[in-house]
Structure 1
Amino acid sequence: MVSNSPTAAPKPVANPTPAPTLPAKPGFQLGVNLGTVAYWSGERSFANLLTGSNWMDPAKGWGEVSDSEQDANGNMRPSAMPAGREVVRILTPTAEVLTGAGAIIRCTWEGTGTVSIQGNRGGGGDGPGDHSSEFRFSPNKLSDARVWLSLRNMSASDPVRNLDCREKGMARSDVFSQEFIDSLKPYGTLRFMDWSAANTNPQSAKWADRTLPGSIYQSRPQGPALEHIVALSNKLSAEPWVNVPWNADDDYITRMAQLMHDGIPANRRVYVELSNEVWNYTFPVARQAEAEGLARKLSDNGFIANLRRYAQRTGEVMRIWAKVFADRPGQLVRVAATQHGNPWTAEMVMTAPGLADNIDALATAPYFGHSFFEGARAKQTDTGLLLSDLAGEAKKTLANEGEANAAWAKKYGKRYIAYEAGQHVLETGGLTRISALNRSNLMYDIYTNYITDWKTRFNDTLMLYSSTSPISSFGAWGLREYSGQPLSETPKRRAAIAMGRK
């Protein structure tokens, strides 16, 4: 377990900016959900290429090393490195690697041990040096771009620490990749759901166990350091949307809220949401919420008990956040999220006792293209015809379920916003059609019209999902498939840039 005393937690510097009067509704704003921090995700977010993976043990089938074998900053503990043991860490490929140029990478560290670079490396760089190693990260596609750092023979008295791998010439002080920062400039709001423990739903979330900003392991199940969320939002002058773990204790919730309060300037909003899609039984939190709802006798029906408990727990969390933001409540946007395709869930949540008094917005995910390849389209291969049908699906989801959900928000005087949005086409048994649809230039028109339709109907925040993700059997969620992908190959991203802020 990674531990850090709560009393030693970094104290944010209070923001001296006087609290402005923010309008209750900001109007249309396009946002995006960030991709997962992981070496395999296609998204290179951090400058240090080691932050997207954990230590692994080749002798144990490349299984991940436990938290107890490393310190709070992701360095291997001497007690976990007996003679002969090797651990490795996979580097996240850079945009240059994925687009065919390759990159000269320089790794540095402190301490004594045998550090070497292995995998898809080529000639170039100065090679091994004093507590350093330079090499060429060879160009390759994401699935084959594997380079790893190997650590052996670590000294017990002078352990290897402060490991860092990044492009030669890049400042060690840079936290994020500049390409990553540039890719997010079109968006006014950033949702950090995939940077949180929302979907993994750990049984406890304590401040002492959170990821620290100095750790080389930012892909922990707990998500990257909250301080990085603040830093990235401020770097882009964007409004953060954060997700509180379901099982966070009151101390964690309070400190998380205080970090956002003190770190985000008062002229920008902070969106806060409890967990993610608690109504969705794909995620473990749904079963927990249902069990808690039944135990509290909120309903005899399991699904209703789930929704009522979600509303109840949301109220508990939001009251803590409201107390922290009591000096500038207009900066805080407390979100309750329900199932877009089933507006009845909005009714169950919004009518729950006390919920409406503790939120500012109702959010759904107006995806389009559910079950798209079923029925008459099961064997259709004409991309043009399929895209024409998909455009119709995009309009229907806003006109039908969108308006129904918005009506529940309006009834209680709340904003209606989207926590995720975009196409939701899935394909089993091959990726030919889903790839063709998402890469077609006609998808640019679908997304442009879809975003315009949302703006016309609801004129509020729309969060696309997601910034970067490769196409797979699990879907084609990314606006682009990998960092550095040419804009001409990303019609969804081109539409987002055209419709987002300049």
Structure 2
Amino acid sequence: MSKFLCLLFCCVCTTLLAQTPKPAGINLSGVVDWSTELVFTDAFKQSREWTVHEARDGAPWDSGVSIPLQANGFPLQIPYSNGVQPPQAVRALMLWDLQGHYPGGRYRLIVQGSGQVRLWGATFGTFQCPVDTLVTVNANNGGVVLEIERSLAINPIRDVKFIFPQYVNSFQNQTFTTEFLNFIKDFQSIRFMDWLRTNDSPVKTWSERSLPSHYTQTKNSGVAWEYIIELCNTAQKDAWINIPHQANDDYIQQLAKLLKEKLNPNLKIYLEYSNEVWNGQFAQHAYAGNVGQTLGYSGEPWGRAWKYTAKRSADIFYSFENVFGSNSTRLVKVVPCWAGNDWVSNEIMGYFNDPLYNPKQVKADAMAIAPYFGGAVGDQIGRNNEVGSISIAEIVRRIRASLPETFAWMDAHKIVADRYKVKLLAYEGGSHIVATWPLVDNNALTEKLIAANRDPELQSLYCEYTQYWYNTTKADLFSFFSSHGLPSKWGSWGMKEYMSHTQAPKYKALQECVFAKTTGTRDQPLEPVAAQVFPNPSYDGSFRIQHGLNKPSLALYDVLGRRIQASVREINAQELQVVLQGTAGGVVFGVLQDGRSAATFKVVIER
């Protein structure tokens, strides 16, 4: 046995597997009805906004008629008649186009008010309201549609809930699903850019924000700030927030006060003005350039946008400091920059430090970039007419070959960050495996890019990528983009495709190379406990482990102390199913630990 394994197995009672200092954040996917990220225990909070249609069988899907709504978003009366068009009703889509990646079973339907609702799609039924009942949903039959067929004006339908099966008796005390909370537990911070619908946001005033009392959180104004605060407080995660590009001064001040009052004082707030204001595809870019012109800033529209980014960032930082205090350690003031052009980033940082744009001379704490890799590969394949001939392995090779360019961006921006004495962060990052127009509509290319994104080699590629950021560039917090999402022609962005997709290569890379534990010592020892392994010996490389630990991590080694890859599935809270990757035999050593206790074992593999 190697010296490393002797230390690990003989001294487990005095050795703790300590967290490697690699600060990681996650960008959450947008809250929409077609998202595989199941956030709320009440699925109706993630429903699509009402589709209005004529209140008759066989009517067109969407009439386009506007109907009066209550403050919480429910109709005042159904059927509704404006005296011109035929009477109107409404429908809302839930769990839509998820390819079955949501739980089937007995859901709890709760509706307050007087009237009638109908469910169809993955479940069927017509219900007189008020109602509180269980309905059976078959996830293989698509999504669920809820229609309000009748709602009385004297007591209109309101407060609809559609509770996931696991939470029918506990939703009152649990806003967010356990699966969602378990996913974010390994990250240090959460970036809410897509939750807030930051890109092209219409929000200008505090009264235009979303409220938690609204029936759905999929509005263009984004998720309510109250839910963002509740999630961070529940999960004990720092909040990375994006201020809408048109938000006025009162909005910023009211938001600062709300966060000061409601967010756990032990949590940090990463402050960023909008998202990628330098990026011409978003409305915030043109807005910033136009406001910069109004303020008398010189230069081309894009240069004025950079200047206004610096100016508005300084405004936001100063406003928050007035609420939290100028010396508050809770605020991380972030200036957003452009990963692909360190010259532009240097310009933006220079403008931020210029009294013309930052007259209060408020200080920044960090500059942030999005150092994606592989972004040119899809278009290159299409332009070279290689779609039919190229292999997935070759696509992955080209993605890997793009890394040195991304590494150069990281290093160049670290020089800029050091010049201005701020930290270097990544507000987004990861693989950028997608084509652009018109190649985005090439279905054969899309299929191959999706296959490359699913290739097991992405795991080692992500490890190489993250190790360079943390160990070579020596940068700080990296916010991966993004959490969950099914791949499409628009990209393969999710670290996982759906909630239970724990074997996704990118997610495994995070587990192995970012969240992984390394050997070290600490004053408090781990308590040694026993674990049972069977069958032992194993003749096919698979075995089970029975243990008494709390959600333990598993590490496997060969006799030389090298890590062994394996797929691990939780059978129940005290039993794991392990399948070794590869065909090697011999003795395998394992360590299970949960931060308090540890179990060591060995299993013989006979092929």
TM-score normalised per structure 1: 0.86
Structure 1 residues 426 and 376 mapped into 2: Cα distance closer, same or farther (>3 Å)? closer
Residues 27-36 or 53-62, more deviating: 53-62
The answer to whether residue 450 in structure 2 is matched with residue 432 in structure 1 is no
Change (3 A) 1:365 1:217: same
Cα distance change, pair 127–291 in 1 and its aligned pair in 2 (3 A): closer
**Pick from 139, 144, 148: which aligns with 1:147?**
144
- Counterpart of 2:376 (choices 368, 371, 375) is 371
Q: Deviations over 1:152-210 (max 9, x none)?
A: 221111111111001242423121122111121121110000011421221x4222222
Contact kept? 1:81, 1:153, Cα under 8 Å: no
Q: After superposition, where does 1:377-392 map in structure 2 within 5 Å?
A: 378=384, 379=386, 381-392=390-401
Query: Which residue is 2:461 aligned to?
Result: 446
Distance 2:255 2:468 in 1: 35
Q: What is the match of residue 155 of structure 2? A: 158
Q: Contact between 2:373 and 2:399, CA under 8 Å: does it hold in 1?
A: yes
Cα distance in structure 2, aligned partners of 1:255 and 1:345: 32
Contact 2:233 2:263 in 1 (8 A): yes
SS at match of 1:176: coil
Which one is further off, 462-471 or 319-328? Answer: 319-328
Match of 1:180 in 2: 180
Which amino acid in the other structure matches residue 304 of structure 1?
Answer: G
Residue 141 (structure 2) pairs with residue 113 (structure 1) = no
Deviations, residues 111-150 of structure 1 (Å, cap 9, x unaligned): 1011111112279xx987861343222123xxx7221111
Equivalent residue number for residue 407 of structure 1? 415
Match of 2:135 in 1: 135
Structure 2 equivalent of residue 3 of structure 1: none
**Residues paired across the two proteins, number:** 466
Partners of 1:84 and 1:153 within 8 A in 2: no
Of the three residues 489, 492, 496, the one matched with 1:473 is 489
Q: How many angstroms does 1:395 deviate by? A: 3.8
Pair 96,438 (structure 1): closer, same or farther in 2 beyond 3 Å: closer
Q: Which amino acid aligns with 2:488?
A: S
Larger Rg: 2
Q: What's the counterpart of residue 342 of structure 2?
A: 343
In structure 2, what is the Cα distance between the partners aligned to 1:135 and 1:129?
Answer: 15
**Unmatched 5+ stretches in structure 1:** 1-25
Task: Give the C-alpha shift of residue 439 in structure 1.
Answer: 0.7
Counterpart of 2:520? none
Matches within 5 A, 1:153-232: 153-168=150-165, 169-173=168-172, 174-202=174-202, 204-232=203-231
Query: More relative contact order in 1 or in 2 (CA 8 Å, sep 6+)?
Result: 1
SS at match of 1:107: strand
Distance 1:442 1:135, change over 3 A: same
Residue in structure 2 matched with residue 86 of structure 1 by the alignment: 89
Alpha carbons of structure 1 residues 441 and 64: separation in structure 2 relative to 1, 3 Å: farther
Post-superposition offset of 1:71: 2.5
CA contact (8 A) 1:55 1:65 kept: no
Contact 1:186 1:500 in 2 (8 A): no
In structure 1, the partner of 2:526 is none
CA contact (8 A) 1:200 1:221 kept: no
Q: Tell me which moved more, 319-328 or 442-451.
A: 319-328
- Is the deviation greater in 33-42 or in 207-216? 207-216
Separation in 1 of the partners of 2:462 and 2:310?
32
Corresponding residue for residue 244 of structure 1 = 243
1:320-351 Cα deviation digits (max 9, x unpaired): 01111107511101111111101122111111
Matching residue of 1:44: 38
**How far did 1:452 drift?**
1.4
Give 1 or 2: higher helix fraction.
Answer: 1
Q: Distance in 2 between matches of 1:55 and 1:335?
A: 37
* 2:544 counterpart residue number: none
Contact 2:201 2:220 in 1 (8 A): no
CA offsets, 1:296-315, max 9 Å, x none? Answer: 23223221111111111111
Aligned mates of 1:131, 1:376 — CA distance in 2? 56
Which ranges in structure 2 are unaligned for 5 or more consecutive residues? 1-19, 55-59, 517-607
Corresponding residue of 2:22: 28
**Contact 2:378/2:449 (<8 A) preserved:** no
**TM-score normalised by the chain length of structure 2:** 0.72
Q: 1:323 to 1:130 in 2, by over 3 A?
A: closer
